[in-house]
Amino acid sequence: MCAHVFLIVCDGMGDRPIEELDGKTPVEFANTPWLDKLSEVGINGIMHTLGTPGIVPGSDTAHLALFGYDPHIYYSGRGAFEALGVGLEVKEGDVALRGNFATVDENLNVLDRRAGRYVPEGDQLAAVVNGLKLPEAPDVEVIAKHATQHRCAVILRGPGLSHKVTDTDPHETNAKVKIAKPLDDSEEAQKTANIINSLSGKSHELLKDHPLNKQRQERGDLPGNIIILRGAGQVPNVKSLTQLYGIKSAVISTNALYRGVALSIGMEHLPVSETKGDYIVLAKKALERFDNYDLFFIHVKDTDNASHDGNAEEKVKVIERIDEMISYLFPKVESKEAYICVTADHTTSVKAKNHVGDDVPVVIAGPEVRSDSVKSFSERACALGGLNRIRGIDIMPILMSYLEKTPMFGS
């Protein structure tokens, strides 16, 4: 029987002990019988996604690592992943950036980096910028597309561009929109920085009085009156998972970034509608196509969102709904048809409302896995397991070894 793998990444699931949860982490506090069952029958460990304790992972670099690609070698910016994830083609020479519809005052001070987070008018607002030709660079086209919520992707397409530029996003409120600067002395980087700064000003000029933003303000919502940009990048030049291991793989995610990272290394996208907190739809999609793929990457974002919002109670609820999703997949472990690996890309602290450098739990259950003495799934419990302490780039080779897809080293 040919086995399959479900790689389930619960974004930002790791956390620190929280006083209001009786000194437990959200995973420890949550009622998770199915995650606990995985730990009981599987092998557990603790993981530093980027390999070095204390280093704070970004979501993009962390996922590259989880897929087996060392981000210290292959990472070249987040923007290309965002663009791929929303369905844009990123060509050689393009520079792609991640954008936020943000709210600024007349002095370009950022009042809200996310324009209230929810921007259902995003398609129309992105269309205002899409196709722009700026006077500073008439040979460069601006391509813009709304992603989800407040997010959008922007591609600069034309000759002589470089991704070696800084952000205009100040990454905090009550701070002025930044001026993009070149990160090296090349003409290409200077040209690109000039284009980005021109685009920043032009986006505010076009969006500040847009009728849709006036409607948002009339109903009490913040206007998305500028696009702030970050993560200039290009698609990494890597071998696909198919080339490396001879497998077919698929991504099931409602978020553009994670789709983009997965697409960049050769996964196919299996579309699902917004989950609205019902992650069982993700499991059902995988089970519908179970015989078509060797590896399913399933991503859940809401654990991270609750952390960034500082909402411990919501994070616990999300984890419990993830546990319900596991119940749909667990029969494939019992029938020895599949392996389930559950982990997080990073720790997002409810208290800090941001990513931190703490390690994350990981469990692998499936046919012939050497189980350990761990009986429950959490940061502290998994730290006592048989996987011990591993790196993010170790996950994919371990999983491929279970599928007997890794070549022998030596003779």
From 191, 218, 233, give the residue that closes a domain. Answer: 233
Q: Is residue 411, in this structure, part of any structural domain at all?
A: no
**Do both 150 and 281 map to the same domain?**
no
Task: With a cut of 80, say whether residue 253 has pLDDT above it.
Answer: yes
Query: How high is the pLDDT of residue 117?
Result: 83
From 233, 249, 273, give the residue that closes a domain. Answer: 233
Percent of the chain whose pLDDT exceeds 70: 100
Task: With a cut of 70, say whether residue 77 has pLDDT above it.
Answer: yes
**Do both 293 and 315 map to the same domain?**
yes
> How many domains would you assign to the chain?
2
Once rounded to an integer, what is the mean pLDDT over residues 280-308?
A: 97
Query: How high is the pLDDT of residue 1?
Result: 53
Contact 90, 81 (CB under 8 A): no
Query: How high is the pLDDT of residue 205?
Result: 94
Higher pLDDT, 118 or 61: 61
Once rounded to an integer, what is the mean pLDDT over residues 126-136?
A: 91
pLDDT band at 148 (very low <50, low <70, confident <90, very high): confident
Task: With a cut of 90, say whether residue 245 has pLDDT above it.
Answer: yes
From 208, 233, 258, give the residue that closes a domain. Answer: 233
**Do both 158 and 31 map to the same domain?**
no
| CATH number of domain containing 343 | 3.40.720.10
Once rounded to an integer, what is the mean pLDDT over residues 164-184?
A: 95
Q: Is residue 193, in this structure, part of any structural domain at all?
A: yes
Query: How high is the pLDDT of residue 73?
Result: 94
Q: Is residue 276, in this structure, part of any structural domain at all?
A: yes
Q: Is residue 160, in this structure, part of any structural domain at all?
A: yes
Q: Is residue 153, in this structure, part of any structural domain at all?
A: yes
**Do both 359 and 291 map to the same domain?**
yes
Reported as half-sphere exposure (CB side, CA atoms, 13 A), residue 359 has a value of: 20
Task: With a cut of 80, say whether residue 79 has pLDDT above it.
Answer: yes
**Among 157-161, 273-277, 393-397, which is the least confidently predicted range?**
273-277
Buried b (16+ CB within 10 A) or exposed e, 288-300: eeeeebbbbbbbb
**Do both 203 and 338 map to the same domain?**
no
Spatial distance between the Cα atoms of 189 and 374, rounded to a whole number of angstroms: 51
**Do both 256 and 380 map to the same domain?**
yes
Which residues form the domain of 287? 4-75+238-402
Strands (DSSP E) along 234-359, which ranges? Answer: 249-252, 268-269, 295-300, 338-343, 347-349, 354-356
Least Cα distance to 335 among 301, 365, 360 occurs for: 365
Once rounded to an integer, what is the mean pLDDT over residues 11-20?
A: 98
Q: Is residue 36, in this structure, part of any structural domain at all?
A: yes
Mean pLDDT across the chain, nearest whole number? 95
Once rounded to an integer, what is the mean pLDDT over residues 297-307?
A: 97
Q: Is residue 55, in this structure, part of any structural domain at all?
A: yes
Once rounded to an integer, what is the mean pLDDT over residues 309-313?
A: 97
360's enclosing H/E stretch is strand 360-365
**Do both 153 and 49 map to the same domain?**
no
Task: With a cut of 90, say whether residue 317 has pLDDT above it.
Answer: yes
pLDDT band at 330 (very low <50, low <70, confident <90, very high): very high
Least Cα distance to 378 among 73, 122, 18 occurs for: 18
**Do both 32 and 113 map to the same domain?**
no
Percent of the chain whose pLDDT exceeds 90: 91
**Do both 105 and 48 map to the same domain?**
no
Q: Is residue 40, in this structure, part of any structural domain at all?
A: yes
Query: How high is the pLDDT of residue 308?
Result: 94
**Do both 154 and 62 map to the same domain?**
no
Spatial distance between the Cα atoms of 375 and 157, rounded to a whole number of angstroms: 53
pLDDT digits 0-9 by tens, 396-411: 999 999 999 998 899 8
**Do both 262 and 380 map to the same domain?**
yes
pLDDT digits 0-9 by tens, 344-370: 999 999 999 999 999 999 999 999 999
**Do both 199 and 341 map to the same domain?**
no
Residue 178: partners with Cβ closer than 8 Å, 6 or more residues away: 166, 167, 168, 169, 170
Query: How high is the pLDDT of residue 153?
Result: 94
